[in-house]
Structure 1
C-alpha cells in the first residue's frame, strides 16, 4: 500500500465514523499519511485526529480511539497504535502488503522506463520562459520533460540569445527543446511562467569540457533552484561519496544482478502454481526489501510532485534514496547465491526487485537527461 492508498483507507474510516454518528464532523477532502520518522511507532503516521478534534469538540486522543478500530478493520492494515497527543500510527498487514509489492514489481516490469508516468496534468500547456543562461536552460528542459511525463504539453523559450553550446547538454542549439523560441502564447497555452534558478556562474562550453554532459546536468539539477549548483570535479569521482556515481552504479549493479540470475537459471523460475517465482512475496518481507519497495512505490508521486513544483531536484534526491536503499537491500538480502549455496525461493525472487530498481533509476535519469549505462 502506498501513502495515497493509506490516505484513502483513513478517509474511508472517517466516513464510517461519521455515518455511524460516532463523529460529527465534515469529512475532509483528503488526509495526509507519511512514513514514520526513525524511532517512531509503526510504518506510517497520520494526524487526522488532531485535525478533526476541534470540529468534533472532542479530545484528539478520543477521536483517534474512534478511528483506530475502524482503520484496523480495513483491508491491508495489521495494527493501529495511538501515540502522543493523538497521532495514528499504522503498521501494514504483512500478507496484504506482500501482495502489494508483488503487484508493484509486476507494474514496473510492465511499464518499463515509463513507470510513474501519468495523465494528472493532461490539458496543461505552460510556456516556460528562462534566462539565456546555462542552468536556467537545462532546468527548463528537465521541467518540461517532467511535465510531459504527467501528460502536459509544455513549451520552453529563452528570453535572450541561445548559446550553441547548450546542444552538448541536451538543450536545442536553435529554438528550444520543447517548442519555438518565442515568448507569449498562441491561445492554447496557459500563462507564461519563468524558470529562475540561481545562475551557474559558468558557461556551457566550460562545463562540457570539465565535466561532460551527464555530470554537468546532474550538478545543475541536483540543487534546489534557490541554492547554488555544486559544479566541482567531485562530480567525476567514482565513489559512493558522489551521488551521481552512486545512482548510476546502483543501476549498473541492478542489471548485473539480473544478468547473473538469468545465467544461473534462478530468475523467473516457475512457482508452485505456475506463477513466476520472482514474484514470490515472502521474499520481500525483510526490512531492507520493504524499504526499497516503499521507495519504488513512491516514484509516481515523486514525479508528479517534481513536475507540479517545477523541481527536478526532487527527482534527483529520490534517485539517491533509491540507490542507497538498493545497496542496503543488496547487502542485507543477497539477491544471488554465494559459492556452492543452493538457490532458495528468495534467490529466485530478489532479482525481480533488483530489476525493478534498475528500471526506476534508468527512467528517472532519463527524465533528467542523463544516461544510465548498464556497465560502469
Structure 2
C-alpha cells in the first residue's frame, strides 16, 4: 500500500462512516497522511479525526475510534492506533510488498506518477504582472494544479513579453479580468527574459527562477551552468541521465529490472535503499502540496532530495554487476529502484518545464 493508497483508504472510511450515520460531517475532498515523525507510532499518521471533530459535534477521540474500526480491516493495513488528542497512526502490513507497490506504480504511470484528481472540483484564475519570474512561476503552478485535475486560466496585467515563449510560457488573456483571481507575486528577477536566456538558456533560467521560494530572491548567476555537484540542477539532471544509462547497461548485460525475493542481498528495503524508496513513495504528496500551496519550489527541493538519495544508493548498492559477477535478483531489484528514481526525476522536471536529457 502506497501513501496515496492509504489516503484513499482513510477517505473511504470517512465516507462510509457518514453514509452509515456514524458521523454527521461533510466528507473532505481528500485526506492527508504523513510519515510518522521520529519517536512516533506506526508508519504513517493522519489528523482527519481532529479535522472532523467540530463539524461532527463529537470529541476527536470518538471520531478516531469510528474511523479506526473501518480502516483496520482494510487489506494492507496491519494496525491502527489512536494517539494523542485523536491522531490515527497506521502500521502497514508487509513493508516489502508496499515497496514493490510503489515501484510498480511508478513503472505503470511513468511520468504521470504522482498526478491525481484531488483538485478536480477547482476552477482557478491566476494573474501576474508583466515580469519574467511571475510569468514562469504562474506557468509552473498551472502545470502543477492541472496535474491534480484543476481547470486553470492565466492572465497577465499587460501584453506578454515575446521572449516568454522561448521559456515555454503561455498566457490566456491580458488585462485584469472582472472575476476573482489569485495573484502570483514572487520577488522579481531583476532581469528580462531575453537577458536571462542569453546568459543561461531556458532550462537554467527556469530552474533559477523556480527553485527559491517566491518570497526569496532568485540567484541567477553563472553557477547555474556549472557542470558539477555544487549545482543542484546539474545533479538532478545527471541523476536522471545516470539512471537511464543503468537501464542501457543492464540491457547489454542481458537483464532487466525486477523484484528481489525478501531477504535476498543488501537490497531490497533497507540500508541505502530506504531513503530513496521513501522519497519516491512521498512524491505524489509533494506534488499535491506544491499544487495546493502554489509552490513549485517544493517540487524542485524534492527532486534535489531524490537525486541525493539516488547517488547514495547507487554508490552503496550498485545496480550493475562488477567484473565477472553475474546479474542476480538483487541487481534486478536495484535496477527497478534506479529506474523509478529516474522516472520521478524526469516527471518532476517536466512539471517545472525543464528538459531531462538521456545523456549529459
TM class, shorter-chain normalised?
0.7 to 0.9
Q: 1:210 aligns with which of 199, 202, 210?
A: 199
Q: How does 1:1-376 map to 2 (within 5 A)?
A: 1-7=1-7, 29=27, 32-38=32-38, 40=40, 42-46=42-46, 74-78=74-78, 89-94=89-94, 97-122=95-120, 124-171=122-169, 177-184=170-177, 191-268=180-257, 278-280=258-260, 282=262, 283-376=267-360
Q: How many residues align?
A: 352
Deviation at 1:252, TM superposition (A): 0.8
1: CA distance between counterparts of 2:50 and 2:233? 41
| CA distance 1:17–1:204, change in 2 (3 Å) | closer
Deviation at 1:49, TM superposition (A): 7.8
The unaligned stretches of length 5 or more in structure 1 are 19-23, 172-176, 269-277
- Cα deviation code 1:149-194 (max 9, x no counterpart): 23333232221243233233222xxxxx142435426xxxx63322
2: CA distance between counterparts of 1:129 and 1:13? 38
* Residue 272 (structure 1) aligns with: none
2:140 and 2:352 in contact (8 A); partners too: yes
2: CA distance between counterparts of 1:194 and 1:48? 30
Q: Aligned with 1:279: secondary structure? A: coil
Q: Tell me the C-alpha RMSD between the 2 structures.
A: 3.6
2:156 and 2:171 in contact (8 A); partners too: no
1:312 and 1:368 in contact (8 A); partners too: yes
Deviation at 1:38, TM superposition (A): 4.3
Deviation at 1:75, TM superposition (A): 3.3
* Residue 271 (structure 1) aligns with: none
1:6 and 1:33 in contact (8 A); partners too: yes
| CA distance 1:102–1:180, change in 2 (3 Å) | same
The unaligned stretches of length 5 or more in structure 2 are none
Deviation at 1:301, TM superposition (A): 2.9
| CA distance 1:25–1:241, change in 2 (3 Å) | same
Further displaced range: 134-143 or 98-107: 98-107
Deviation at 1:309, TM superposition (A): 2.3
| CA distance 1:153–1:139, change in 2 (3 Å) | same
Q: Aligned with 2:216: secondary structure? A: coil
Deviation at 1:371, TM superposition (A): 0.9
Q: Aligned with 1:284: secondary structure? A: coil
2: CA distance between counterparts of 1:192 and 1:84? 39
Deviation at 1:373, TM superposition (A): 0.9
1:11 and 1:27 in contact (8 A); partners too: no
Deviation at 1:231, TM superposition (A): 1.8
Q: Aligned with 1:256: secondary structure? A: helix
2:2 and 2:101 in contact (8 A); partners too: no
2:259 and 2:329 in contact (8 A); partners too: no
1: CA distance between counterparts of 2:63 and 2:126? 46
Q: Aligned with 2:174: secondary structure? A: coil
